[in-house]
Structure 1
């Protein structure tokens, strides 16, 4: 085949309408676009939203319908470090939700916040100055002047650290194009916030929900403070020393005497424990009346005497003595036989007459069926002993070391000062193994020991084991509002649905909330302590009246005055109190801080939740979600005559998973797999760009690599593309896909902007599908139909908070429907076609561009703003800004029958398109052809498809042959009858018979019969170096002849 010369092609270049756009291949001037799509947009929408169509006749006090407002309440991150990808996942998800609601015409209320108090910040402040320690700060109740001075120092350091972290984190959040009221961001260290928090606390005191009690709480020796359950994590592989301990019986019941002759035998109760350090606090032993118990002996070790264990646990116990068969002595006993008339010796404390009690929690699933009770170190133990007046003792200090409290000197000398979970445990076991220490023991009281792996609570910040320890603490009685809390959750929408059960279980599992902490950096619990002349605390005083008085002093002097004022300053004591008082030093649990942040939200009608959405990580079911719910329900329960059903502060509760590396592992510095947000925005996790080779110059081997930086939109698209309802994986393969998608977006927009450079919009262009003025081709109608389908699917996904599905629909539409099919069919019309044909295509592309920008606006606002900046002036004048328009799904105007018919057409044409591509690839592989336009297609179609008055005629009719050329990207298409033999003697490169619409259709692919047109490159010219008929007419039209 003779090919025209390059010079001939060039001579017609000026007659082609090629795309013209200066839109760059990489993001540019990000700072300018960030400001526009965040601060300026947020301020604009506060003044111009809700959209007029959302207003109703029943409006609020400000003249706007409350339903026109959308409130997303920000769960405050800790102000104690640099941002990580978990921050990005959280903040960007929130921003996408807010931007979508803005696109619906809502007025968005989003005020970012920071959690500024608490242990994490205090510890970091202390670490920054190693000469300061927290050892003398965490002290229960009243404190010394030295402690007060240390508290002032740490509070100042913690405040500075928090403010520094807030500044750094805010900068990062804003660079990610997170839109919000940053100038009025809330901080839990703000005086106004603290006063609101204290007001809620006062309400709960007046309602009787706050009380002080000496009872077991989770205690962190590494942090020196009590912890709430929400502040615990669990080590699934913790190893504890487990021991079987003998407690000698001193008195025997008649039932036991009938079982065997006890005159020459010592009998002991055998218990098993994984916390031997709690043995000095033993106050009783528990059995279960419903269990059967056996008396056993070890014939090979008669010095062990007789042992009482649950009959069902004998096999388990025997496993520790494989060479010593254990024997049952006499008949079995009922659990009730052991609770009547029996007592035992506590050898550690040298106390006799210790009771044996019944407890329902004693089971035959573990241990020996007997449980040693230390009410000072276990809640179950405490509950059993409390009703019987058995005291809870805990000879352990704030740092987890043994004290001498209530212990005989013989024992305290051996263990005092030792950490309970280390040297202290060894000292106790050594003491028990040395029988010479006890008059009644002639052998070791430790029967056996082993290492036991189990799940154990650890401090969520220090990652070190916690203990349970009885101390005087302030508690919130949340059990009394439990039913109201559960009722409130019934009207909440949960995303995902499993969040409901999870939050309900946490509410059900908590009857009390330890709200006091023994740290300096926080909001003080406003308690006064009456002291006697020696300075000893007599009682704690905290009422609504005393808190009111203290709040007034706070208003005048500030929170720090609680520590800086003299210890006996009378200004803090209400006039109605007489005697000597000092101020407490406990601070509130930080979950109470953030849990009362709903007090900052705008007021709404009583039947509306304060916030439309709370969105946080799944760990917040036990944390912020729960504390917000409980404090809000407590507040509601206090209102007199409140007839409104209990209501959560949130309408919808959304939770996301954690971020993992590409291998599904949790990120940690020790594993070296931590990924920072900056690595994503800079593209440095991806291979560097290849440098162009320089001619006649040596390459600079020291030159720094250049990365394909796609900016903050890369980070945002990764978030939007992730199924956040599960743990989210991030790594190089995923980020390569994200960058590819962004590059595809940019190429698409550059092309659209280029081909619309001369487009002028008219009113008739608004609904081209039904307008008589537009001669839309089949390809145009297909594109508009698919645009409407995609727009609806994306909008629906956003509504359901399924952003990842929205992105998937978008990517499929751009890559397959547009780039791979529609754009390819259009290029000839746009570049070389007649003016009318070009304009009809531009009308469709205008709507494609407009809708793509609307669909992407919540996810990639920087890209959308940049596209808007490069928009041709006449197009920009016709189009409303994509971030400010009210977006509803694009509609073609077609009825349901037409839509179904179009779906069938699309399926048929896509199947045909795929088969033709396959034939072309085969011919190309054999070297028969190059460009797709170097081929011609013959279709042998059954006559019933051609004659059919239905839609098949619009695919295979003679009048659509030219349209099929563009859709299939071939130079010519001939549609022939299945028996037609007019093809003649032509070369066939490839052929195939396929099934379309239930009929066999034969495809033949071969070389075009005509010559290549030097203008459009289609093989449609009658003679070599001549224009095809279409190009001849267009050129003459351009030249005005």
Structure 2
């Protein structure tokens, strides 16, 4: 035993057992730190792969144990999609969901599927969403939870109805409500079948025979009961209010059904409202001077005929100005004087200023109706951002305007019909003219004639459009059904704070959207949907709804579907006891209402039909960011209204899919990515090769899904390349565990090679981090950890070191078995770690594991299994210190074969020497653990400089800091690496320069071959 080992007994004992008492290095900068020591990861070692993977030339080729596996390195052309279909059949993908539901396990994981819309082909946005959900579900199945996941479809609504009607063209005008409903249902069913087949092909785990559909009678009946529950609590009411109205769809829309066009062009006008009655505090304004007018700006001139008031900001400062061009006097905000004068191409002289509150009690003349007065009223919605600081107020055409009118009892007459045309109440000049087109032009001409128009100009600004017809909407007052959000908003916001949002910023976004929402209009004037279960009086403005009528309708709907509202006579829609009270069957005073429920109410009540148990809360909702104002919100509001709790515990919000350069996908740009083409290839398979579903899944997992997600040929090609590299790693693992039986051939950890123990140490760290990333739904991190592990730790580092031991040692030698023991564990952990992301590849690998005779599905065999005894931080000191010297050696012979050299390592006596001695007990060896790490022909370990030097040697020096037991043991040692050309001949079997002559075997190979 050398001097260093005698220094402390505890150190010697620990070293001999590769003791775990060694602490990991404290300073990432020191030469042995994990990342530095394996710089080799990016460096190819010339000759090693060729030499050791093909020593089968010559008479010893049959004695070399090369990898043996039928697992293919690559699947070319149609092989990938064909293999996936075969795997889905063989490994019973279709039965996995029902199998895991039957398990007797304690934990349950519920992911509630937000319904995709049943109105089109499956697209790449669907792929992003469904694959993310499936990765989460498969992980939880492997962790031993019983997963509850019921796929669903949103089947009603305007977009489906619009598509059906547009396909029918002119014939659509003569269709009855039932004919529209029948055609819409057929359309939705066809879309569902297309989407369902695609989701299953992507490997999404579900019971596809038991999904939920919002047009199912039982689903509709539950929805009607929740509607009545909310009505009974006073949360649902009917009122005359301004709503977003789509003239192109002839129905009211909710905020979530709008999209804002930032390039919309409006005709904006500056108009004057002559002051009729000056405010008492400003009576002197009209004393003997020229008349004064209130100056107003609006981008919606068509609303001017409906004006009822002009609003001001009480705390702002206002000015009376004299126009230097015309001499006219105007009132406007003091802050806006300069900008408005500039726009009007004139100058204003300020004659006096006053506070906004001083306008109280005044009124001005209507600019189109001279004998009509419009009062001046204070309002909180007036801002100084644009315009004049004075706002024209038309209560029938603005939410804030309506609020002001309610406070001051102003008229709220609507002058616009369902098609967006002026009614007769607007006067003969405007009647039947489209308000957003010719109607606007006529109003501007009328203002000009009345000499109240100061300027007209086009303005480009953001404006709400109908999200389906892509045409502008208007705000118009009409009688609709509303949910009183104000009464539940506070509770909803408090409950949201108990929900985990990923990313965290999504919580604030959702709260902001709730705050901005004044009310929720839930009625629609269409045929394809769930009827609002209300009867309207034939002659009076009153309606009939109570618990008996709604329960009667709900039972009918449960049995026959909501078509009964249109197919049964009205007297059958009412229970007998109610019918007798309202005129009986012959003289019934009420008729069924024609409004249907907003589809956000449809889908928002899905928790009541789908979520399991009495608690009916999902562990996870996972949808795109548009659902913060859509399904997430309608689910929350209905759940809070009905039972005062949120329907979700965690909400994950992902971005939208975009083209490769971050642009929107469109057919005209030719950048639309069709998932079916990704999987099966396009017409020209050179340009659009068949990638299979796993490439699509890898792309989803790898993407930063919390931002916008880009996809295109280069992203898909990169995903395929990554998977092919992973396949190569798996092929090496499979090929080198052939002939190994883990039950009988495994080597105990304490008896394994240090490098093998070290890999198990790294494997445990990898497994822990991967598991934690899955727990956090950070699938991008899983992919990053995977890629780093299989490219750096395995392919570039470990595999390059162990090939000689695997290929050239005796098959049952404990050295080789030690390595195979590690490979078996690595293979098992690796396959399970990517199985939720690449289920087809994971199952394919399982079919090729040689020691599993009857492979089950990897998903039926549990999650990663690691052992605490693998964790040995002290091993890092042993391996990293050797790797620091190996780095020096390999760096000195770039591009050359390391087996053509011998290495002499000189270390002063001390702890570093003890560590190296653990790897090589004898002075010189060609088969030691130290020499294996060096990859040289032989290594010599010395405590002092060699007496003789060769002229052609390369001398390299360095230091290594040993830092153990939390810093209690710290020792910096210097070392010297002397590199000299090998002095022996190349062995014809292992190709290391360790033979006495070129036609004789080296001692190690002679022993192995002799034994055979």
TM exceeds 0.5? yes
- Does structure 1 residue 577 correspond to structure 2 residue 632? no
2:297 to 243, 267, 272: 272
**Displacement of 1:648:** 1.1
1:733 to 706, 714, 727: 714
CA contact (8 A) 1:240 1:275 kept: yes
**Mean Cα deviation higher: 191-200 or 971-980:** 971-980
Residue in structure 2 matched with residue 124 of structure 1 by the alignment:
163
- Does structure 1 residue 875 correspond to structure 2 residue 930? no
d(CA) in 1 for partners of 2:675, 2:514:
35
- Inter-CA distance 714–376: structure 2 relative to 1 (3 Å threshold): same
Residue in structure 1 matched with residue 822 of structure 2 by the alignment:
844
Residue in structure 2 matched with residue 1025 of structure 1 by the alignment:
999
- Does structure 1 residue 425 correspond to structure 2 residue 440? yes
- Does structure 1 residue 1035 correspond to structure 2 residue 1005? no
- Inter-CA distance 488–8: structure 2 relative to 1 (3 Å threshold): closer
Residue in structure 1 matched with residue 561 of structure 2 by the alignment:
558
2:933 to 945, 961, 967: 967
Residue in structure 1 matched with residue 340 of structure 2 by the alignment:
317
d(CA) in 2 for partners of 1:470, 1:299:
41
SS of structure 2 residue aligned to 1:890: coil
d(CA) in 1 for partners of 2:131, 2:154:
19
- Does structure 1 residue 833 correspond to structure 2 residue 806? no
SS of structure 2 residue aligned to 1:319: helix
CA contact (8 A) 1:656 1:725 kept: yes
CA contact (8 A) 1:349 1:408 kept: no
**Mean Cα deviation higher: 831-840 or 729-738:** 729-738
- Does structure 1 residue 86 correspond to structure 2 residue 125? yes
Residue in structure 1 matched with residue 662 of structure 2 by the alignment:
664
d(CA) in 1 for partners of 2:437, 2:56:
91
**Displacement of 1:157:** 1.5
Matches within 5 A, 1:812-823: 812-823=788-799
CA contact (8 A) 1:821 1:967 kept: no
- Does structure 1 residue 940 correspond to structure 2 residue 963? no
Residue in structure 1 matched with residue 969 of structure 2 by the alignment:
none
**Displacement of 1:552:** 3.3
Q: Structure 1 length as normaliser, TM-score?
A: 0.86
**Mean Cα deviation higher: 93-102 or 36-45:** 36-45
* Runs of 5+ consecutive residues of structure 2 not aligned to the other structure: 1-49, 962-971
d(CA) in 2 for partners of 1:666, 1:866:
36
Residue in structure 1 matched with residue 502 of structure 2 by the alignment:
495
For residues 912-964 of structure 1, what are the alpha-carbon distances to aligned partners after superposition, in whole Å with 9 as ceiling and x for unaligned? Answer: 4444333232xx3xxxx4x443333333333335644xx45435764795223
**Displacement of 1:599:** 1.3
CA contact (8 A) 1:298 1:325 kept: yes
**Displacement of 1:248:** 1.7
1:801 to 777, 781, 801: 777
**Displacement of 1:994:** 3.3
**Displacement of 1:673:** 1.9
d(CA) in 2 for partners of 1:959, 1:239:
86
d(CA) in 1 for partners of 2:821, 2:573:
80
SS of structure 1 residue aligned to 2:740: coil
- Does structure 1 residue 757 correspond to structure 2 residue 738? yes
SS of structure 1 residue aligned to 2:435: coil
Residue in structure 1 matched with residue 748 of structure 2 by the alignment:
768
**Displacement of 1:790:** 0.6
Matches within 5 A, 1:878-893: 881-888=857-864, 890-893=866-869
For residues 123-159 of structure 1, what are the alpha-carbon distances to aligned partners after superposition, in whole Å with 9 as ceiling and x for unaligned? Answer: 11122222344xx6xxxxxxxxx6xx43222211111
For residues 515-554 of structure 1, what are the alpha-carbon distances to aligned partners after superposition, in whole Å with 9 as ceiling and x for unaligned? Answer: 001111111111111012xxxx532222223212322333
Number of paired residues?
A: 934
**Displacement of 1:107:** 0.7
SS of structure 1 residue aligned to 2:402: helix
Higher RCO structure, 1 or 2 (CA under 8 Å, sep 6+): 2
d(CA) in 2 for partners of 1:970, 1:258:
104
- Inter-CA distance 428–210: structure 2 relative to 1 (3 Å threshold): same
- Inter-CA distance 229–706: structure 2 relative to 1 (3 Å threshold): closer
SS of structure 2 residue aligned to 1:184: coil
Residue in structure 2 matched with residue 979 of structure 1 by the alignment:
945
SS of structure 1 residue aligned to 2:749: coil
Matches within 5 A, 1:341-356: 342-356=362-376
CA contact (8 A) 1:991 1:1005 kept: yes
- Inter-CA distance 667–252: structure 2 relative to 1 (3 Å threshold): same
Residue in structure 1 matched with residue 193 of structure 2 by the alignment:
167
d(CA) in 1 for partners of 2:923, 2:222:
75
For residues 940-992 of structure 1, what are the alpha-carbon distances to aligned partners after superposition, in whole Å with 9 as ceiling and x for unaligned? Answer: 333335644xx45435764795223322322222234452233435x34x553
- Inter-CA distance 995–427: structure 2 relative to 1 (3 Å threshold): farther
Matches within 5 A, 1:140-289: 149-259=175-285, 261-262=287-288, 265-289=290-314
Residue in structure 1 matched with residue 138 of structure 2 by the alignment:
99
Residue in structure 1 matched with residue 329 of structure 2 by the alignment:
306
CA contact (8 A) 1:529 1:581 kept: yes
**Displacement of 1:253:** 4.1
CA contact (8 A) 2:312 2:391 kept: yes
d(CA) in 2 for partners of 1:495, 1:360:
35
- Inter-CA distance 220–912: structure 2 relative to 1 (3 Å threshold): farther
SS of structure 2 residue aligned to 1:10: coil
Residue in structure 1 matched with residue 319 of structure 2 by the alignment:
294
d(CA) in 2 for partners of 1:116, 1:396:
31
1:381 to 376, 397, 401: 401
- Inter-CA distance 780–419: structure 2 relative to 1 (3 Å threshold): same
- Inter-CA distance 991–741: structure 2 relative to 1 (3 Å threshold): farther
Residue in structure 2 matched with residue 717 of structure 1 by the alignment:
698
d(CA) in 1 for partners of 2:882, 2:269:
76
**Displacement of 1:881:** 4.7
- Does structure 1 residue 993 correspond to structure 2 residue 957? yes
CA contact (8 A) 2:222 2:554 kept: no
- Does structure 1 residue 395 correspond to structure 2 residue 415? yes
- Does structure 1 residue 601 correspond to structure 2 residue 623? no
d(CA) in 2 for partners of 1:368, 1:98:
57
Residue in structure 1 matched with residue 38 of structure 2 by the alignment:
none
d(CA) in 2 for partners of 1:558, 1:185:
17
2:85 to 11, 25, 31: 31
CA contact (8 A) 1:37 1:861 kept: no
- Inter-CA distance 954–219: structure 2 relative to 1 (3 Å threshold): farther
**Displacement of 1:566:** 4.9
d(CA) in 1 for partners of 2:71, 2:688:
20
Residue in structure 1 matched with residue 891 of structure 2 by the alignment:
918
For residues 439-473 of structure 1, what are the alpha-carbon distances to aligned partners after superposition, in whole Å with 9 as ceiling and x for unaligned? Answer: xxxxx211122232332222222222221111110
d(CA) in 2 for partners of 1:128, 1:913:
72
**Mean Cα deviation higher: 505-514 or 194-203:** 505-514
Residue in structure 2 matched with residue 692 of structure 1 by the alignment:
none
CA contact (8 A) 1:768 1:844 kept: no
Residue in structure 2 matched with residue 743 of structure 1 by the alignment:
724
For residues 471-529 of structure 1, what are the alpha-carbon distances to aligned partners after superposition, in whole Å with 9 as ceiling and x for unaligned? Answer: 11000112211222122223211111112212222233334211001111111111111
- Inter-CA distance 349–522: structure 2 relative to 1 (3 Å threshold): farther
SS of structure 2 residue aligned to 1:387: helix
For residues 9-43 of structure 1, what are the alpha-carbon distances to aligned partners after superposition, in whole Å with 9 as ceiling and x for unaligned? Answer: 42111111211111122135322322435322212
CA contact (8 A) 1:292 1:334 kept: yes
Residue in structure 1 matched with residue 45 of structure 2 by the alignment:
none
d(CA) in 1 for partners of 2:930, 2:916:
13
CA contact (8 A) 2:271 2:454 kept: yes
SS of structure 2 residue aligned to 1:376: helix
**Displacement of 1:681:** 2.7
Matches within 5 A, 1:410-449: 413=429, 415-435=430-450, 444-449=451-456
- Inter-CA distance 448–908: structure 2 relative to 1 (3 Å threshold): farther
CA contact (8 A) 1:792 1:889 kept: no
